[in-house]
Amino acid sequence: MRKLKFNLLMPLLLFYALNLHAQCESHIKFDSLVNDKILIDTLSWDCFENAGFSEWFTANYDAYPVDSESLVDFQNNDTTIKMLIYLATWCPDTRRELPRMKKILDKLNVNWDINLIGLNRKKQLSDGESPENGITHVPSFVIFQNNMEIGRIVERPEQSLEKDLKKILNAK
């Protein structure tokens, strides 16, 4: 019985892993302005496990000490919260702040709708269109509640990601 479960489960896991890899591969483009590969358009966190992106992402994720004290009374697991994260894998600010935000979100274990949008050096999508929400700097963490923008963190936090996020959510 155990062997039967394993034989049924392995192909599904392999299919899932290959499907995720293929989804992320279609978002890797060469950007001549930065002379490197970038992630572009709608992404998933799994795309940062890809060679070329995982090294800086994992190193910065692991190195960041989340300010747990700032999150002690953080009580927002509101499912009406949505976060759009505009990023650029060529950008040093993104390489620093994106893994940190991911680690904070993991620590908080929130049930928010989080969307990652990769941009090229011109801060455009692959079709040449500019993203919505007036994005001029990356990373931009744009936070919505009930489809209304309640705040954003642009390029780098004013105090810390934890404190700025808490301030935005408490001000709503």
What are 144-169's pLDDT values in tens digits?
999 999 999 999 999 999 999 999 98
Residue with tokens 């302005």: 33
Least confident of 15-29, 97-111, 136-150: 15-29
Burial of residue 65 (CB within 10 Å: 0-12, 13-18, 19+) is exposed
List of residues 6+ apart from 152 with CB closer than 8 A: 140, 141, 142, 143, 168
pTM, two decimals, is 0.84
CA distance 19 to 49: 14
- Per-residue pLDDT tens over the stretch 25-68: 888 999 898 899 999 999 999 999 877 899 999 999 999 999 99
Q: Which two tokens stand for residue 43?
A: 């992404």
Residue 142 is which amino acid?
V
- Going across the sheet that includes 41-43, the strands are 41-43, 113-118, 81-87, 140-145, 148-154
The packing angle between helices 161-171 and 92-108, to 10°, is 60
Beta bridge partners of 83: 114, 143
CA distance 124 to 119: 5
What is the pLDDT, as a whole number, of residue 3? 56
Q: What is the DSSP string of 101-143?
A: HHHHHHHHT---EEEEEE--TTS--TTSPPPSTT--SSSEEEE
Q: Where do the structural domains in the chain lie, given as residue ranges?
A: 2-171
Does the pLDDT at position 123 exceed 50?
Answer: yes
Query: What 3-state class would DSSP assign to 14?
Result: helix
Domain at 2-171, CATH from 3.20.20.370, 3.40.50.1370, 3.40.30.10, 3.30.420.130: 3.40.30.10
